[in-house]
Amino acid sequence: MIFIKKLILSWLVVCLMFLPAQAGFATDTPSESSDYLVKFNGAAEKGLIQAFGVEEEDILHEYELLSVKHINLTGQQAQGLERHPHVDMVEENAEVQALGQTVPWGVPHVQGTAAQEQGHTGDNVKVAILDTGVDNTHEDLADNVKGGHSVFDDSANSDPYYDANGHGTHVAGTVGAVNNDLGVIGVAYDADLYAVKVLNNDGSGTLAGIAEGIEWSIENDMDIINMSLGGSQGSSILEEFSDLAFDEGLLVVAAAGNSGNRGGNNDTVGYPAKYDSVIAVAAVDENNSRATFSSTGPAVEIAAPGVNVLSAVPGNDYAAFNGTSMASPHVAGVAAQVWQAKPELSNAELRELLNETAKGLGPAHQYGHGLVQSLDAIGN
Among 131, 140, 190, 285, which one carries the catalytic annotation? 131
Handedness of CA 69, 74, 78, 80 (dihedral sign): negative
> Which has the closest alpha carbon to 209: 198, 197, 222, 201?
198
Asked whether the beta carbons of 267 and 298 are under 8 A apart, the reply is: yes
- CA gap 290, 294 in Å, rounded: 7
Peptide bond just before 272 cis, omega within 30 deg: yes
Among 235, 295, 311, 325, which one carries the catalytic annotation? 325
Give the CA angle between residues 93, 97, 103 to the nearest 5°. Answer: 170
Query: Is there a catalytic annotation at residue 277?
Result: no
Pairing between strand 204-206 and 224-227?
Answer: unpaired
- CA gap 247, 260 in Å, rounded: 30
Query: Is there a catalytic annotation at residue 167?
Result: yes
Among 109, 120, 138, 167, which one carries the catalytic annotation? 167
Query: Is there a catalytic annotation at residue 28?
Result: no
Backbone angles phi, psi at 143, to 5 degrees: -75, -20
Which residues are within 8 A (CB) of 62 and not within 5 positions of it... i.e. 6 or more apart?
68, 69, 70
Q: Which positions are catalytic?
A: 131, 167, 325
